[in-house]
Structure 1
Amino acid sequence: MSNFKTNIQKLGRAMLLPVAAMPLAGLILRLSADDMLNIPVLGAAGNAVFGNLDILFAIGVTIGFAKAKDKGIPALTGFLAIATLKAGLNIINPEVNMGIFAGIISGLVAAWTYNHFKEQKLPLVFSYFAGEKFPLTMVMILQTVSAVIFGLIWPFIQNGIDSFAKLLVDMGALGVGIFLFLNRLLIPFGLHHVLNTYVYYDLGSYTAPNGEVFRGEMTRFINGDPNAGLFLSGFFVVMMFGIPAICLAIYRAAFKENQKMVKGIMGSGAATSFISNITEPVEFSFMFISPMLYVIHAFFAGLAGMVCYLFNIRIGFTFGACIVDYLINFRIATNPLLILPIGIVFFCLYYVTFYYLIKKRNIPTLGREVVATEFGEIALDEEEELSLASKNYQYMAKKLLAAFGGKENINDSYSCNTRLRVEVLDASVVDEARIKQLGVSGIIKPSATNYQVIIGLEVTYIMAEFDKLLAE
């Protein structure tokens, strides 16, 4: 269970790497649209991120799980993994689109391949391809096999979801609720796009006054169909009110030492969702840390869809269910004003539920940690006031590294606002007493091989010197 929790935390941290590029990309993508600034080259920058999310996630997951101090070759292994999978799928079945799920799978395969084959020995004639370079070869072989497997089974998954989407149409408010629930629930697997395709682009038919026929909720609404928009209105409640409420809950629940950092990340995530409909920066920050919270989020999304259906709110979008589309489409929508009071109610529902559960169940969302202490504990809200006895950071880093068993015993290391976090290969060689003698304020062990050294804000300088020693 300890290893499982550690791996889940690693996955969550790995997800934050590509997520870091999303907020700005989402904003500039929206600003570049035809109905805004109409600057195609600006939109190209945003599409460079959202058009390659599978690649970004593959690299991020690989970096997160690869056991190496230098992440360059693992990152290249992750890229080769997703590139091989996509190229293979294009041969096996060009219609298959696995989305972000392909990136996550590729990242995990790449990390496993690197960790298992990075020390592979070969005959001398092939020695150039041995060691860290060997995973580059192996991952292409493994992902070719993956392409064949997923190329054969994925069409059945896609067809099943498409058929299920058609069944939802005749279920009224319940069908809309299930659609929004599954729309959110399937995001981690990249399958929500499969479900969306039928509803967005094929559901229903409308003949315009000029005789032109339009299909799909999005297309029919924009072209004047008064019956369109029931399947889309709930998204405005989620994107404009639900996601910002989650951000506020995560910020308020964060430990005091981390709130400045969390405020920036969650504030950006809330603004991105409200302005540009991009929710991944927020959702990926907690979906793997707490699946329970994510299921609740999906349930609330479904509930929002049902409420909007029952109040006969019909509004659609071209870019996304954000404030811009809300204002642009307000005049052609049905009962759009009701989204505001409904949104406020759901904001409160989201905030109270998330804040209560995060605090009550001690869920390690951004800015929080679930840790077990062995050598004493210090109040987290006091850590920013701590200071080291010695200001010779190079000396302190050198002594810390020696106490951890030298750089050959370091599997991973990084820092947060006040702590040096180190994962070692062999905990038996770590001199914990020596670490405490260096004047640090405490040591915490989340697991058998993971250490958190409480230093204070000076950890930034210690980490810089620690990295230099690891690179030597």
Structure 2
Amino acid sequence: MTTQGLHSHSLYKPILRPLNSHRNGDENNMLDFLQRLGKALMLPIAVLPAAGILIGIGLLMQEYSIAGGAFVQDAGLGITGNLAIIFAAGVAVGFAKDSHGAAAIAGVIGYFILSQGLIAIGGEDIDMGVLGGLLSGVTAGLLYNRFNNIQLPEFLAFFGGRRFVPIATAGLMLLVTIILGFVWPPIQGLVEAGGQSIVDAGAAGAGIFGFINRLLIPFGLHHVINTLVWFQFGEYNGVTGDLNRFLEGDPEAGIFMGGFYVIMMFGIPGAALAIGLAAKKERRKATLFAMSSLAFTSFFTGITEPVEFSFMFLAPLLYLIHAILTGSALYLATLFDVHHGFGFSAGVIDFVLQSAQGRGELTLLIMGVVYFFVYLGLFYFAIRFFDLKTPGREDEDEELAVAGSPGHVDTNPSGSSKFDQQSLQFIEDLGGGSNIRTLDHCATRLRLTVENMDQINEAALKSHGARGVMKVSKTNLQVIVGTQVEFVYNAMKDLLKNKSTNADQSNESSTRNETAEQTADPNDIAAVAAPLSGKLIPLADVNDDMFSTGMMGDGFAIEPSDGTVCSPVYARVEMIADTTHAIGLKTKAGTELLLHIGIDTVALKGDGFTALVEVGDTVHPGQALINFDLERVKKQASVVTPLIFTNLPEGWAVEHMATGDVTAGQTGIIRAKADTGSH
């Protein structure tokens, strides 16, 4: 049976379910969702430096009576005045599986419907602000992942695919707006009252926020609380949030930002120096060199994560001290009437640019010098007294190799860029390409979902340049790289996409996989690998006439012992059922294969199934294609999974060469023979 025939079958309607590259088996878990949200927030937040720079320059120009200062300032305020729309577009792109602009358009349309609809229902005073943009963006991004590849009947075909996403978003947001029109007004009152109470709490509120902000860093969730405090709480001249109000000129704003300058420009460099000085004598010079570069990054840009992750897990006590000191810095800065802010982060760039708007710069500098020595003394004492295994003090087999140290691995060999080589090493350290389900990044870290967390080699990742490794759940992993993470991400993405390397494959498996490309010749079907681990079953024993009688083609079946379906061959993904329970593949030589997960699983409508690839992708043996919740599906249907060769030559059949249990990736389990006998 050809692929076209598959599409005509009732089980394979030509509405192909798209890949949601951010989804995983735990996506219903609130932590996973919040992490996705935190990552999506990075794009609109990345716009803020432009606003901060323009406003800062404009104010400095006006202070020194330079013409055009007001114009430059207003240009920056034009950005902050439309943050809700920016969040709607940016969050939608962040949630969309391929960051496509169609999601952004849908997010903006959703926000227009929501904002205008709320006014029509509840009056001019009803406004969700940045939260409305965030809600519209999340909705549009999720709908994009679900419908960007939808195929409509021919007379509506023009509106199919990505063009359908804004339509779907408009329809859903209309319903959401009607509901929120009656539900949101009392909620808005509570949000405004709660936010104002935090603002009115003054030094205490600022201190608590600083403490919680640092505690959420390990999970990547600090962006969520930052969004509320910096963009939603408090109001001045029609804008909300501490950051917005500060840039707008609110003299009372800046209490949730000013204290961070003390930590990022002075405290973190003090901690970095303490770590270097406390290193073992033979490693002190190399560790000081490495930590100094990270300290300068924090001082100059306000990005602290590379330093924080160097001790966060090795010495949790130090991180608790760091969180307490951060809270105390914000508390004291507010107590000393400091009102200072930033457009991106509390580094020296923003400190200078926002000096015309803020007040208390001298206080911050004096506090900074004090905190530098407080961090230096506390960290050095704690490291030495408790013998904490910070960088430069690890046991020999766990040492974090830094540039210039004996264990350092050269990441820039001749003929290879630094990031290509480091990415190749990272892929190997992560268990190989087949162990990586999804790959993404934020400002300083790689965000991944993996097949098997046990295959992650943390020590090797650190020796190849990772600042830290965070295992968020059984499948979610974060690798802290630093400010150059985007270059590492791009190189890894290219390597995984192009399959220029298969870091997890031994020479033996590489040879085996090379023969798997030639499955168009029935004699080479022996090279086909088992797509799942479990019990091998003859097709004739499958409890479904469509498969057992060979109606769709010959093949075999597996009763799986886990929920990961892998590619049995080198192939192109030709079809993914709209319910994700089946996938069609086609090899380079023309052989067509169908993997049908379970029997009667179409009735589950995709519940419990997650696609890890999309139509058009090129896949290799052992690469994960679909994850499904084995126990959940087993309760509702048979999980026996047939693999069908839909276009075997006339007169050829599949013969089993193995019985009993097989392992995913195992070859030699079947062969084809010129025999029209039974299965």
Which of the numbers 234, 239, 245 marks the counterpart of 1:196? 234
Q: Quote the residue 2:88 is aligned against.
A: 58
Which of the numbers 332, 336, 342 marks the counterpart of 1:304? 332
Which of the numbers 53, 75, 80 marks the counterpart of 1:27? 53
Which of the numbers 385, 388, 393 marks the counterpart of 2:410? 385
Which of the numbers 249, 255, 259 marks the counterpart of 1:238? 259
**1:136, distance to aligned residue in structure 2 (A):** 1.5
Matched, 1:99 2:129: yes
Correspondences of 1:282-361 after superposition (within 5 Å):
299-300=327-328, 303-304=331-332, 307-308=335-336, 341-342=366-367, 344-345=369-370
Write the distance in 2 (CA, Å) between the matches of 1:304 and 1:103.
34
**1:109, distance to aligned residue in structure 2 (A):** 1.4
**Contact persistence 2:107–2:136 (CA under 8 A):** yes
Which of the numbers 51, 75, 99 marks the counterpart of 2:104? 75
**1:133, distance to aligned residue in structure 2 (A):** 2.5
**1:121, distance to aligned residue in structure 2 (A):** 3.9
Which of the numbers 183, 186, 189 marks the counterpart of 1:159? 189
**Contact persistence 2:87–2:130 (CA under 8 A):** yes
**Contact persistence 2:52–2:342 (CA under 8 A):** no
Task: Flag the 1:248–1:73 CA change in 2: closer, same or farther, 3 A.
Answer: farther
Task: Flag the 1:345–1:415 CA change in 2: closer, same or farther, 3 A.
Answer: closer
Q: Quote the residue 1:120 is aligned against.
A: 150
What do residues 36-78 of structure 1 show as CA deviations (whole Å, max 9, x unaligned)?
545233224423432232233333332333223x623233333
Write the distance in 1 (CA, Å) between the matches of 2:476 and 2:441.
16
**Contact persistence 1:85–1:147 (CA under 8 A):** yes
CA RMSD of aligned residues (A): 6.4
**1:130, distance to aligned residue in structure 2 (A):** 2.3
Write the distance in 2 (CA, Å) between the matches of 1:415 and 1:323.
29
What amino acid is aligned across from residue 87 of structure 1 in structure 2?
Answer: Q
List gaps (5 residues or longer) in structure 1: 202-216, 223-228, 271-280, 309-313, 361-375, 433-440
**Contact persistence 1:88–1:148 (CA under 8 A):** yes
Q: Quote the residue 1:84 is aligned against.
A: 113
**1:25, distance to aligned residue in structure 2 (A):** 2.7
**1:139, distance to aligned residue in structure 2 (A):** 1.0
SS at match of 2:63: coil
Matched, 1:110 2:110: no
**1:112, distance to aligned residue in structure 2 (A):** 1.6
Write the distance in 1 (CA, Å) between the matches of 2:262 and 2:470.
38
Q: Quote the residue 2:280 is aligned against.
A: none
List gaps (5 residues or longer) in structure 2: 1-24, 214-223, 240-244, 276-286, 314-318, 344-349, 387-396, 456-463, 500-615, 619-679
**Contact persistence 1:378–1:442 (CA under 8 A):** no
Write the distance in 1 (CA, Å) between the matches of 2:147 and 2:196.
46
Write the distance in 1 (CA, Å) between the matches of 2:42 and 2:187.
28
Task: Flag the 1:41–1:121 CA change in 2: closer, same or farther, 3 A.
Answer: same
Task: Flag the 1:127–1:163 CA change in 2: closer, same or farther, 3 A.
Answer: closer
Structure with max Cα Rg: 2
**Contact persistence 1:18–1:56 (CA under 8 A):** yes
What do residues 310-369 of structure 1 show as CA deviations (whole Å, max 9, x unaligned)?
xxxx67789999678878897xx9xx9766645655677789999999xx9xxxxxxxxx
User: What TM-score, normalized to structure 1?
Assistant: 0.55
SS at match of 2:202: helix
Write the distance in 2 (CA, Å) between the matches of 1:324 and 1:389.
42
Write the distance in 1 (CA, Å) between the matches of 2:436 and 2:363.
56
**Contact persistence 2:439–2:449 (CA under 8 A):** yes
Task: Flag the 1:390–1:181 CA change in 2: closer, same or farther, 3 A.
Answer: closer
Write the distance in 1 (CA, Å) between the matches of 2:34 and 2:193.
33
Write the distance in 2 (CA, Å) between the matches of 1:81 and 1:247.
41
**Contact persistence 1:238–1:301 (CA under 8 A):** yes
Task: Flag the 1:143–1:199 CA change in 2: closer, same or farther, 3 A.
Answer: closer
Write the distance in 1 (CA, Å) between the matches of 2:209 and 2:413.
50
**1:26, distance to aligned residue in structure 2 (A):** 0.6
Task: Flag the 1:465–1:159 CA change in 2: closer, same or farther, 3 A.
Answer: closer
Q: Quote the residue 2:568 is aligned against.
A: none
Matched, 1:17 2:38: no
**Contact persistence 1:242–1:350 (CA under 8 A):** no
**1:145, distance to aligned residue in structure 2 (A):** 2.8
What amino acid is aligned across from residue 89 of structure 1 in structure 2?
Answer: L
Write the distance in 2 (CA, Å) between the matches of 1:295 and 1:419.
20
User: What TM-score, normalized to structure 2?
Assistant: 0.41
Task: Flag the 1:87–1:245 CA change in 2: closer, same or farther, 3 A.
Answer: farther
What amino acid is aligned across from residue 114 of structure 2 in structure 1?
Answer: L
Q: Quote the residue 1:363 is aligned against.
A: none
**Contact persistence 2:440–2:448 (CA under 8 A):** yes
Task: Flag the 1:28–1:127 CA change in 2: closer, same or farther, 3 A.
Answer: same
Correspondences of 1:244-263 after superposition (within 5 Å):
244-245=265-266, 248=269
**Contact persistence 1:29–1:46 (CA under 8 A):** yes
**Contact persistence 2:42–2:442 (CA under 8 A):** no
Q: Quote the residue 2:203 is aligned against.
A: 177
**Contact persistence 2:118–2:181 (CA under 8 A):** yes
**Contact persistence 1:66–1:74 (CA under 8 A):** yes
Q: Which has the higher helix share?
A: 1
Write the distance in 2 (CA, Å) between the matches of 1:467 and 1:378.
32
Task: Flag the 1:265–1:412 CA change in 2: closer, same or farther, 3 A.
Answer: farther
Write the distance in 1 (CA, Å) between the matches of 2:46 and 2:254.
28
Greater displacement, 380-389 / 15-24: 380-389
